[in-house]
């Protein structure tokens, strides 16, 4: 196979070189003077030369994809393993910092500001990040992202050791980490397409979900215990060590050569490059509708995510919170393993709708009762659906978007789908503190009606918000299903990888 592709490349390069020389002779009259057959303007000559180089780049991309050294699932599995270890460390740090901030301030509003500083910078940086991901090798963009986040973690560890850590330091830390994460999402999603054959995309995305599931499982499970034993400083040190491990794998594993069409990129203004992902999606109604559907759901789930910790801590301990999140991580892990071992359904969009409905129903029941076992069961079912939803969505986008523009398109997807989260994080705290919590106090306006069903007192206003967000999630899913270009997306839009 190696000889076949080598001969193919040699033959094609020879033909391209002959065509290039004939064109040059025709234009220059063998270097003496312009011939009668020359083009009327030098712009045509430049376009022809650029077209020649573009064909050479396409040949190199084809050759690299077909080369027997092109790594597959084995190397991708190693990368996912490194990320899984890193996610465990990040889960420990996020859990510890979240509990520390809420216990130090006692304010849901300040607690929600952290999530705002996590999501907003990623949205603003994503268009530029996507352009860079398409113009530089995927491996080095992933290294750049992980390196920046690791340095920020080290700074937080230093501040805490010096007893100078404040709430605003944590906000600055998550802001910097978010900026580097804007490069990570499009780089990792497009790297899966680069490394893994199309028929293994489901397994590859399943591995990514396993990594996230293990991180969600082990992080909270150990977080509550380690917070009491070694404190936040020890947890951050573990996080930094896991980052070094993941970065080492990225630096050591072999990557296939990735050729970039720099001739085209050099001729296009940067603002057009940054907006190309949005233009691409808008022209494809099914993909754009899927993106908007997730933006709406992310707003609703963002409120739930923001208020879940205050909801549980209103009647349970931090250890109980860790237990609930751990069981949710088990659900995510079980689902991810099923994705790897079982064949995905022919139409992934149906799986997305079905598990979105399950998620909405789970959110509704989470707000009804103050029960740790019940919340743990609900967390299992809710998190069980997340890998299936996420993997199905990623596979659809990976199949429908050409590789050479995936960085820009995936960055746009990340920015738009997450754009509603800052709004959710901004309104969640004030809505809970100023409106819903007072409604279901013992003397509140709804104490005699809804309060008799869900209870009254601290945390019951947040429970009421959960019920409302669950109902809205179910309604949004039903409405989205009625939109034909979205429901028939996989049938109507051809695969870019085919």
The answer to whether 278 and 412 are in contact (CB under 8 A) is yes
Q: Across the chain, which distance is largest between two alpha carbons, in Å?
A: 97
State residue 265's pLDDT score.
43
The answer to whether 129 and 182 are in contact (CB under 8 A) is yes
This prediction has a pTM of 0.65
State residue 386's pLDDT score.
87
CA distance 283 to 277: 10
CA distance 486 to 473: 17
Closest CA to 240 of 165, 158, 184, 117: 158
CA distance 471 to 465: 10
pLDDT per residue as tens, the chain (498 positions): 334 444 444 544 554 455 455 555 544 544 444 444 444 444 554 555 555 455 445 444 444 444 333 456 777 788 878 877 887 887 787 777 777 777 776 666 666 677 677 777 777 777 777 777 777 777 788 888 888 878 887 787 787 777 777 778 888 887 887 787 777 777 777 777 777 777 777 777 777 777 766 766 676 667 767 777 777 778 878 888 888 888 888 888 777 665 454 444 455 555 666 677 788 888 888 899 999 998 899 899 888 988 888 888 888 887 888 788 878 878 887 888 888 787 777 788 999 999 999 999 999 999 888 888 999 999 999 989 988 898 888 888 888 888 777 777 877 887 787 777 778 877 888 888 888 888 888 888 888 888 888 888 888 889 899 999 999 999 999 999 999 999 998 888 887 755
Tokens standing for residue 54: 């573009």
């Amino acid at each position: 196979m190696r000889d076949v592709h080598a001969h193919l490349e040699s033959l094609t390069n020879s033909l391209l070189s002959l065509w290039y020389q004939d064109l040059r002779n025709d234009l220059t009259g063998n270097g003496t003077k312009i011939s009668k057959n020359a083009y009327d303007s030098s712009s045509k000559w430049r376009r022809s030369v650029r077209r020649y180089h573009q064909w050479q780049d396409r040949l190199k991309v084809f050759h690299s994809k077909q080369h027997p050294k092109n790594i597959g699932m084995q190397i991708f599995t190693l990368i996912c393993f490194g990320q899984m270890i890193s996610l465990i460390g990040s889960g420990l740090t996020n859990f510890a910092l979240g509990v520390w901030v809420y216990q130090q301030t006692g304010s849901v509003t300040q607690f929600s500001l952290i999530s705002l500083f996590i999501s907003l910078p990623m949205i603003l940086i994503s268009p530029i990040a996507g352009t860079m991901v398409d113009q530089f090798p995927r491996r080095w963009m992933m290294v750049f992202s992980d390196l920046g986040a690791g340095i920020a973690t080290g700074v937080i560890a230093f501040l805490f050791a010096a007893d100078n850590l404040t709430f605003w330091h944590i906000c600055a830390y998550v802001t910097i980490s978010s900026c580097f994460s804007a490069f990570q999402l499009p780089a990792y999603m497009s790297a899966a397409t680069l490394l893994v054959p199309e028929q293994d995309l489901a397994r590859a995305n399943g591995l990514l979900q396993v990594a996230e599931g293990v991180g969600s499982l082990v992080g909270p499970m150990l977080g509550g215990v380690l917070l009491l034993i070694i404190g936040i400083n020890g947890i951050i040190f573990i996080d930094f060590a896991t980052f070094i491990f993941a970065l080492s794998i990225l630096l050591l594993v072999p990557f296939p050569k990735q050729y970039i069409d720099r001739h085209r990129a050099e001729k296009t203004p940067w603002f057009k490059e940054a907006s190309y992902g949005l233009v691409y999606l808008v022209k494809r109604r099914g993909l754009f509708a899927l993106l908007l559907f997730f933006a709406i759901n992310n707003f609703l789930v963002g409120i739930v995510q923001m208020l879940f910790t205050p909801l549980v801590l209103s009647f349970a301990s931090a250890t109980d919170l860790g237990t609930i999140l751990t069981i949710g991580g088990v659900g995510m892990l079980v689902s991810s393993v099923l994705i790897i071992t079982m064949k995905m359904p022919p139409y992934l969009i149906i799986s997305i709708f079905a598990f979105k409905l399950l998620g909405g129903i789970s959110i509704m029941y989470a707000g009804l009762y103050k029960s740790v076992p019940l919340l743990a069961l609900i967390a299992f079912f809710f998190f069980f659906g997340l890998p299936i939803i996420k993997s199905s969505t990623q596979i659809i986008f990976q199949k429908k978007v050409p590789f050479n523009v995936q960085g820009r398109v995936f960055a746009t997807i990340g920015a738009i789908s997450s754009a509603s989260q800052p709004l959710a994080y901004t309104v969640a705290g004030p809505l809970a503190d100023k409106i819903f919590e007072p409604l279901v106090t013992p003397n509140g306006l709804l104490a005699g009606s809804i309060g008799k069903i869900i209870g009254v007192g601290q945390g019951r206003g947040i429970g009421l918000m959960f019920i409302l967000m669950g109902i809205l999630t179910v309604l949004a899913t039903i409405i989205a299903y009625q939109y034909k270009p979205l429901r028939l997306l996989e049938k109507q839009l051809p695969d870019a990888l085919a």
